Every structure is written in C-alpha cells, then in structure tokens.
Amino acid sequence: MRLKPALILLGVVVLVQLASARALDSIGLIEGLLSPSAASPALLVPLAFVFYAARLFAWFVAPGLVLGALVVSFRPDPQERV
C-alpha cells in the first residue's frame, strides 16, 4: 500500500469513528440497552458494532498500515539498479 491511500484510509476511519461516537451518544446506547422501553437493541447493537470496529481499526490497524507504507516508500526501487 502506498502512503497517500494509507493516510486517506486512516482519515476516513477516524471520521467514521467520530461520527458513530456522536450518533451512539445522541441515541443513548447504554440507556437504550438497559431500558426496556427505549430503542430496539436490534438497532443499537449493529451501530455499536460499527463504532467499536472502527475504533479498533483506527487505533491499531490503520497506524500500522501508515507506518508500513512509510517504510516501503523509502525503500529503493529495484528497477533503478539496472
């Protein structure tokens, strides 16, 4: 993976994480799961899954992809040796 697409991917994942955090806060995830009269858990659980998957990806996977792309970008091109 090249550096620019890796940075774009990191930015998108961080935006998804922030947007889903605001959405879960506005609909009251914890209150909805604990309250029997609130929103259906069938709606809340998939939203929570997207949020936590984006958070794990943003904190662990995407920085590794960016670091790997940065290391590869400084590696000499094998075609230039000829």
pLDDT tens figures, 33-67: 677 665 566 777 787 788 888 888 888 888 888 88
Helix axes of 3-27 and 41-56: crossing angle, nearest 10 degrees: 150
pLDDT tens-place string over residues 10-37: 888 888 888 878 877 787 777 766 776 6
Tokens of 46: 């998939």
Q: Is the pTM of this model over 0.85?
A: no
65 vs 7, 35, 51, 77, CA distance in Å?
9, 40, 20, 20
Q: What is the pLDDT of residue 79?
A: 77
- Token look-up 């029997």 returns 36
Q: How far is it, in rounded angstroms, from Cα 15 to Cα 23?
A: 12
Q: How far is it, in rounded angstroms, from Cα 57 to Cα 20?
A: 13
Q: What is the pLDDT of residue 82?
A: 55
- Token look-up 């939203």 returns 47
